Amino acid sequence: MFPLLDMPGGWEWLIILVIVILVFGAAKLPELARGTGQALRIFKAETKGLRDDDKDTKPALTAEQIDPSVAARQAELDRRQAELDAERARLQQPDA
């Protein structure tokens, strides 16, 4: 359908390689390949980071979901706080 979008075959790759050698020179090819590989590694790491960021958007767990005993300890602390508040209110009242 779109002949320009087809992947190059064997002869096309050979022609592209010859053109690259003519443009950059044979001495620059290893440096060019190293730079291209490094750029691709950076690109891959960044896209992986974006995918990891998407996974991090899950809702955070509450303390009770992480450790169910937290709810029991919180209830105990609330009970003790209520006792302390009642004792403080009793001590602040003048004797009748």
pLDDT tier at 9 (50, 70, 90 boundaries)? confident
Average pLDDT, the chain: 80
Does the pLDDT of residue 70 top 70, yes or no? yes
What confidence category does residue 32 fall into, taking pLDDT thresholds of 50, 70 and 90? Answer: confident
Residue 85 confidence (pLDDT) above 90: yes
For residue 3, what pLDDT is reported?
59
Per-residue pLDDT at 96 exceeds 60: no
Calpha distance 48→55 (Å, rounded):
11
Q: Look at residue 64 and tell me whether its pLDDT is greater than 80.
A: no
What is the mean predicted confidence (pLDDT) over 78-91?
92
- Give me the residue spans of the domains in the chain: 8-55, 63-92
DSSP per-residue letters across the chain: --GGGSPP-HHHHHHHHHHHHHHH-GGGHHHHHHHHHHHHHHHHHHHHHHHHHHHTTSPPPPHHHH-THHHHHHHHHHHHHHHHHHHHHHHHSPP-
Rounded CA gap, 40 and 25, in Å?
Answer: 22
